[in-house]
Amino acid sequence: MPFLGQDWRSPGQSWVKTADGWKRFLDEKSGSFVSDLSSYCNKEVYDKENLFNSLNYDVAAKKRKKDMLNSKTKTQYFHQEKWIYVHKGSTKERHGYCTLGEAFNRLDFSTAILDSRRFNYVVRLLELIAKSQLTSLSGIAQKNFMNILEKVVLKVLEDQQNIRLIRELLQTLYTSLCTLVQRVGKSVLVGNINMWVYRMETILHWQQQLNSIQITRPAFKGLTFTDLPLCLQLNIMQRLSDGRDLVSLGQVAPDLHVLSEDRLLWKKLCQYHFSERQIRKRLILSDKGQLDWKKMYFKLVRCYPRKEQYGDTLQLCRHCHILSWKGTDHPCTANNPESCSVSLSPQDFINLFKF
């Protein structure tokens, strides 16, 4: 750098050997630097604004695409595998936890309701979720819950079977939603309150449709239930596991009413659902001094849960901790996978995801 007083020359310029010349030189250079800095800052701000606008455009485009997909699809989110690995902790191989909502999305309940062996199982599971587990589901799982429920209702309206079962399910769900919707602002339910109010209106519409069902008598003329011998009629009635079905059957005809009041029939029903200890605590005597098994049954139902029996259930492999429907192939390394499988009741399924 030249010292003060030396000749300073730059392209197209000549400076005198004075302090004033040095001062003017610094002023011009600093002005040029400020101008360049200002230009650079303006360019950087411009680039950031363009980047921000671009990101906003991408987010908006993705949101529109997602909303369009959600509005057009009413089917369950399907996965290729019809099983799920249930893990309750993180390992080197797997990270995170398996949730109830994730299992609900993966286990293909939409197809299961079409199988008569699995129908009651799925309905009972939906009822348990509606009672206490609806808020534990993710947004997608809650949507799948409503889609599966709609398929269940449509199936019952078409088949005219299991009407009372679905009425109870809808009433349970509606009662739960009446409480939960009041707490939407507290992040209890996923989604807009208007969406849940619409779903509640849909549930009321389904209930009206079920209440208006008129079961018509079959057109064919052939052998009916009352044409069978009394011993066969009684044998068939003994296979009904719900006392309300016996009462309903007894209202069809006077002869069936007599059979539905059979003491032995109600005794077997009580012994099927309840233990001897539970029965001894709820003894009721009739006017004749005999045990009134019918009254005892309905009193026991109010005090204790009934025994649940299903044609097909979900199974958990104790060897590889994979949850699947019975008969579903899953990657198990056990020599005899069938011996490692344990059947799960709907409540066992819920308890499996309580951490």
User: Which of 19-33, 45-59, 61-75, 114-128 is predicted most confidently?
Assistant: 114-128
Domain boundary (212, 227, 252) is at 212
**Residue numbers of the domain that contains 288:** 242-303
| 201 and 111 assigned to the same domain | yes
| 189 and 256 assigned to the same domain | no
pLDDT of residue 288: 82
**Of 149, 134, 241, nearest in space to 190 by CA:** 134
Domain assignment present for 265: yes
| 207 and 296 assigned to the same domain | no
| 101 and 174 assigned to the same domain | yes
Q: Residue range 229-242: average pLDDT?
A: 89
Q: Residue range 216-221: average pLDDT?
A: 70
Domain assignment present for 203: yes
pLDDT of residue 285: 85
| 266 and 201 assigned to the same domain | no
> Tokens for 41?
């800052």
| 286 and 333 assigned to the same domain | no
258-273 pLDDT, tens per residue? 999 999 999 999 999 9
| 199 and 116 assigned to the same domain | yes
Residue 143 CA to residue 151 CA, distance in Å, equals: 13
Domain assignment present for 59: no
| 258 and 158 assigned to the same domain | no
| 252 and 327 assigned to the same domain | no
Domain assignment present for 141: yes
Judged against a pLDDT cut of 80, whether residue 185 lies above it is answered with: no
304-340 pLDDT, tens per residue? 988 888 888 888 888 888 888 887 777 777 777 777 8
User: Using N-to-C axis directions, what is the helix angle for 243-250 and 263-273, rounded to 10°?
Assistant: 160
| 293 and 340 assigned to the same domain | no
pLDDT of residue 50: 55
Cα angle at 124 between 118 and 130, to 5 degrees? 135
Count the domains in the chain.
3
| 112 and 194 assigned to the same domain | yes
Domain assignment present for 46: no
Judged against a pLDDT cut of 80, whether residue 147 lies above it is answered with: yes
| 141 and 202 assigned to the same domain | yes
Helices (H) and strands (E) in the chain, counts: 15, 6
Q: What is the pTM of this model?
A: 0.69
